[in-house]
Structure 1
């Protein structure tokens, strides 16, 4: 679980010329992934890590450190020395929603980190079980309004991008449904196929095979634009349910007060890595959309995400008791 307030007070405060050495990096750089191996965040970190290694001239090591919705890893990096040797590949969960859900969280997405850059988004599809008698998102909304609270939806866990996407959908569409949390996309996909849950928002990468096999049906994409891998699936806005933009996003963060020159060098190495053929092929194969957002744009972006999801958390009454 999280460290207490005393631990939060120990967040690094040292920086300056002593850390801004020209020979950086002189040893391996560790990227902490806030989730177990083999998931989307892990896949992205490892794909980018190889070309980053070549650009920096030192190994980029991936360390998986799951727990508490990614907060264990994020907190560990917030507490690390601000020397750019320990980074976290954060997400909209670790740096967008967690502090709204968990008021006692001892780090803050903005104050405890220096954002380096965003690298990608992971689109989510609104997927229904094969037997549900709806063919479009508007038909699902109509069914939910006729039978409020009778249908259920699955997610990849409380506070996950999958969960918050559906809560945002419920708010914008004015509908109700029962939440069934799962431990990851695999179990959720299995129960969607089996008809145990009626619908859910799930990363395209986690459901692509089942969609192509006709075992479940996708009604729409919760993004501002269609997914190149599935160009025939409309966005929710195109399907008649606007303002449900709920892409998952991944971005690199360093501890607060990390020297600007090191952040700039990391951002340049990461941006270059995104152009590597192997990275692009890995992204395409796994329905990950490359999206580089530079350092200068990150503070406003993170602040907007924190504000957006805090309102969703409030309206959905998801705040954990202190």
Structure 2
């Protein structure tokens, strides 16, 4: 009888323990699980030159290093502009050489000949005037002839002065203003040519950061607007976990706090450290459903960087974080309010 009573007590104790365990699992609050996502740094490769996409040297999934060419844009308009600038440069250089070379020797010789002719004409006019004056004083010729001879002498003198000025200008060469203008024109065309050459060089786009080609937005033969990102490069070495956390849970996410996050895609855990916290916009605010019960709470963006590199980590993967059950109860109460 004693043995039978003992077995009954054991069975009753087992039933009580089982009921207690079931009750605890049923009414206990499970840990609050937050889900985040892996983000990675992306770089856009674009060109300052609009045109037609001539070549694409990469595909999605390719690895690139700094300096690798990724695409080339064809721009016939720039090549035509370069031809025009080369022609203008030739003209400006020729003008500059003509200005710097001074007046041609033939022009100087002509000016000197005209000056000598004016001197001879002045000498003849002076001699004629002196003879006419003597004859007029003797009454041999009329006074009218003397006046005509005097006028011809004055004209010869002014002609000699003008010829002397022309010869002086020819020997002096171009003015300094002309030299400055010719040099400025040469520098302008040279600058335009350098600018177009730089644009032609920029028609070939190169990777400015190493990483994986995550997207190619255009196909060969399509038109490329100026500055349009044709290729996107993702640096998987600069990946982080991003969570949207309600502010009543923000007490766990102080700067520098470390967490063990579950990564279902990799089937492992990795340690992450909080590196950045920022408030999201008003659209992410949790509103109280009943006035006077609860309060509006903001949502914050929390970034966590891995403490050590995680092999295989890629952008878009989900990450899970379990918080203590006390926070789960507070979260459920806020949702009920």
Q: Please tell me the TM-score bracket, short chain as reference.
A: under 0.3
**Structure with more helix by fraction:** 2
Q: Which structure has more RCO (C-alpha within 8 Å, separation ≥ 6)?
A: 2
Task: Give the structure-2-normalised TM-score.
Answer: 0.20
Greater gyration radius = 2
Name the TM-score, length of structure 1 as normaliser: 0.20
